[in-house]
Chain A
């Protein structure tokens, strides 16, 4: 189990997109349920609890993924084996993409109301 936590393990190739996937499902499901159960009035525009919650979740996930990306780069620099360096760097790239994807997809909360 401890082995899996090391950034040079290939499991990290899929951890970033998995975190992205969980965030994506959470915001879509959360938005759908919130709009079904307690939709805010259209007059409120973007300043709704839903937008704020989605925005905060987006920022938190982005920061987490960026941190993991940086951890991957650090691990790659310290790696003793070529294999470890390879997986750490590739995982860092995938984490970075996942962070960018999170921010890009979550960004519309700034200018779109949630339930219209």
Chain B
């Protein structure tokens, strides 16, 4: 059903719908590459993720075919190494995270009563980074040069000496590229949830799914940068010989393990939380009562988000860490069972106190409960150090991991798929085919992985490509392989079901499951603008409390129901109370995200084939595209040149000083800060732990140059802060000149810092000390250049009239970057100059 075809609408309302459809239109053909709308981008993420799931599944079947019989020569060991490495990599990085991001990107605005995410072009950019990164990574399989060191790429196995081919480079560059996508989604989901909820939707009234996604997005923002740093360092080691992980050069391979698992363990919860969010959304609908203990669930989400960062060493119990430290991580690993347990008891209580109905989505939820609880129990077993030592790197761990991830993510995802399918297609799913598919997958999964616990306990190591019949593992492996193929048959049936659904599914009613959340107030399939008018909501169950909402929304009876201005708009609201603060005007379809991602893909490929000059050129091109993209903002003719709003409405966000852009910059700096702290961790870790670390007697860096650069940065920040204070008083006299002065100070900082690096005469390919120092200094230099460049652009924008007393937001955003640079610069100065000078060449 489309809004505009509704015969009951008055001509005026029909014109409103038509106007909305025109302003929010998605172009077809080649123009589809410019689409930025969250519904389209979310669907693209999900469909692409599903394709990668099939590729990962195919690789899994190759593994099970190889292991089905002893002494099998179906694959060589080289091929097997590539296949299992790519299976893990594809499933974790190209399927699990992106498809859940896709669900979040698609659902969140619909559930919180917004028309789009807060940075639609960033969504599109993220998607193309994901697509190109995924293609680059999987192309390594076709080229028979896929990574073969396992999905966590432990050094030194993945280093140049032991993996001299291009496989590790494909992984390091491809994954880093894909992670740009994850970070983009993470940042904008956080800001969208906090700042674009519909009027009245206070923080404690928003749907639980939004809480789960908020936690997931924040965890992505904080958790992914350590791996990005690790990947950059390892690629620098492989390509330029910088010995970060080479003991002889003063590095330490265990640093990689720390950086990887600092990301890798939270990643498990990043995957689980959206799954649990789907369960907490669906289960009350089918129990036909509100969830028991909303506050308990919120507390459990927060606790889980934090505790999951304190478990990373439990993947490293066999690395020779002191027993007391092992005990800390063992205890933390057991503790995470408490917030998980809270959620499970909340779900059981909701079922117990409700009037549950068993339908297809609910079947998948029950499957989830069974499998995930079993996976959680073996997780607590693995938290015990002595047991962990016994089963480390065996098939027991493989079985546990699949119980947690497939149980915690795939089953809820399937429940969500069947639940929200009517929203996407306007048709109901087939119960019969869906049930067949469920039982084949559920039984196939348990036949495969329950047995695998035994195989592991009998001593079968993970990643062995074959085994001798005398080991006694034959029958267990054969059963696991049969189960694997049974599961594949279930997946095939599921694909058939979905394909038939869009052609033969019966029409869905307005609210087919009698759900309580706002997305079911929308037309089906959804229009690009979601809601023609945005309702005021002060309840957690809008559709249960007001079943007339779909009609009143469609009739334009609520807020933001004008389109004459031609802008894409949604509400900007207070993060805590949901009171209206701004009208957020959203950017429209654009080629810039596509071109920026494409040029970054060229950078990635050039680095892969070691064409460094071309990589440099492509980086410059990407920077030009990104900056050109940023130009269309604020009062720019393609953004919002006319600031007029309807009477009674708050101002446009670009005409305020605390719009979502400020929040976006702050959340982006959380990610940036996580990257920087990981770098500092690396510096101190190698300094204190690496056996061959060489700290020079005196710092190679010139104090006058470093102090001069710091002074320029401090003066520039103070100057910029002064201009922002004047803008708050609506005084923009001398703003353009002031911006050029700040840009000059940023340029001076960059020049002095560049000179300090050049004068230091570092030998980064000889010692880990010099290599780490160079990376840290390059990091602050890039930030200094960026700060200067953005001020220069601001000066130009003031000249064009895009920024000023009437459009004061952008200088506030740029000031955040300068403050960040200030903190980073001086803390790094203490870490790399003051402390080594005071402590001397201690190690």
Contact = CB atoms under 8 A, between A and B. Distances in A.
Interface core residue of A21, A28, A51, A113 (most chain B CB under 10 Å): A28
B470 interface: no
A108 B295 contact: no
A116 B323 contact: yes
Nearest to A109: B324
B688 A33 contact: yes
Contact of B325 (A9, A31, A90, A98): A31
A63 interface: no
B503 to A, nearest CB: 47
Contact of B323 (A20, A98, A101, A112): A112
B306 A28 contact: no
Interface in A3-59: 9-10, 13-14, 17-18, 20-21, 24, 27-28, 31-33, 35-37, 51, 54
B373 interface: no
Contacts of B204: 10, 83, 86-87
Interface in B139-180: none
Contacts of A97: 299, 303, 338-339
A36 B813 CA distance: 43
Contacts, number: 90
A12 to B, nearest CB: 10
Contacts of B577: 83
B202 interface: yes
B327 interface: yes
Interface in B199-240: 202-204
Interface core residue of A27, A36, A93, A109 (most chain B CB under 10 Å): A93
A94 B339 CA distance: 10
A105 interface: yes
Interface stretch (B122-130, B328-336, B662-670, B712-720): B328-336
Contacts of B331: 104-105, 107-108
Given A94-B302, A105-B332, A112-B327, A31 B307 contact: no
Interface in A48-97: 51, 54, 83, 86-87, 89-90, 93-94, 97
Contacts of A90: 295, 298-299
A20 B306 contact: yes
A24 B324 contact: no
Interface in B284-340: 295-296, 298-299, 302-303, 305-307, 309-310, 313, 322-325, 327-328, 331-332, 335, 338-339
A35 B332 CA distance: 21
A93 B299 contact: yes
A113 B299 CA distance: 35
B94 to A, nearest CB: 30
Given A32-B689, A112-B323, A24 B295 contact: no
A98 B332 CA distance: 11
Nearest to A31: B325
B576 interface: yes
A44 to B, nearest CB: 13
Nearest to B327: A108
Contacts of B576: 9-10, 83
Contacts of B298: 13, 90
A20 to B, nearest CB: 7
Given A83-B202, A112-B327, A104 B299 contact: no
A80 B339 CA distance: 29
A21 B306 contact: yes
A35 B328 contact: no
A107 B335 CA distance: 13
A108 B329 CA distance: 11
A70 B174 CA distance: 49
Nearest to A37: B688
B237 to A, nearest CB: 23
A90 B303 CA distance: 11
Contacts of A109: 324
A67 to B, nearest CB: 19
Contacts of B299: 13, 90, 93-94, 97
Q: Is the interface of B mostly helix, strand, loop or mixed?
A: helix
A11 B328 CA distance: 27
A27 B303 contact: no
Contacts of A89: 295
Contacts of A28: 313, 325, 328
A14 B219 CA distance: 13
B466 to A, nearest CB: 39
A19 to B, nearest CB: 10
Contact of B306 (A17, A93, A108): A17
Contacts of B335: 101, 104-105
A68 to B, nearest CB: 14
Interface string B688-706: 1100000000000000000
A111 B124 CA distance: 54
A18 to B, nearest CB: 7
A26 B295 CA distance: 30
A30 B662 CA distance: 36
Contacts of A108: 324, 327-328, 331
A114 B322 contact: yes
Contacts of B322: 31, 35, 114-116
Nearest to A105: B331
Given A97-B338, A112-B324, A36 B689 contact: yes
Given A24-B328, A35-B322, A105-B331, A13 B295 contact: no
Contact of B302 (A13, A24, A86, A116): A13
Given A90-B295, A94-B299, A27 B328 contact: yes
Nearest to B205: A83
Nearest to B294: A86
A17 B203 CA distance: 19
A106 B202 CA distance: 38
A86 B295 contact: yes
Interface string B565-582: 000000000001100000
B694 to A, nearest CB: 16
A94 B303 contact: yes
A8 B296 CA distance: 16
A37 B414 CA distance: 52
A96 to B, nearest CB: 10
A2 B619 CA distance: 45
Contact of B309 (A21, A36, A101, A105): A21
Contacts of A93: 295-296, 299
A105 B324 contact: no
A9 B299 CA distance: 14
Contacts of B303: 17, 94, 97-98
A33 B688 CA distance: 7
Contacts of A27: 328
Contact of A105 (B202, B203, B296, B328): B328
Interface of A: 9-10, 13-14, 17-18, 20-21, 24, 27-28, 31-33, 35-37, 51, 54, 83, 86-87, 89-90, 93-94, 97-98, 101, 104-109, 112-116
Given A97-B338, A105-B331, 16 more contacts: A13-B299, A14-B302, A14-B306, A17-B305, A17-B306, A17-B307, A31-B322, A51-B324, A83-B203, A86-B204, A86-B295, A97-B299, A97-B303, A101-B307, A105-B328, A108-B324
Interface of B: 202-204, 295-296, 298-299, 302-303, 305-307, 309-310, 313, 322-325, 327-328, 331-332, 335, 338-339, 576-577, 688-689
24 contacts: A10-B203, A10-B576, A13-B299, A14-B302, A18-B306, A21-B309, A24-B328, A27-B328, A28-B325, A51-B324, A83-B202, A83-B204, A93-B295, A104-B331, A104-B335, A105-B328, A105-B331, A108-B324, A112-B324, A113-B323, A113-B324, A114-B322, A114-B324, A116-B322
Query: What 10 pairs between A and B have smallest CB-CB spacing?
Result: A17-B306, A108-B327, A105-B331, A112-B324, A90-B295, A86-B204, A93-B299, A36-B688, A114-B324, A115-B322
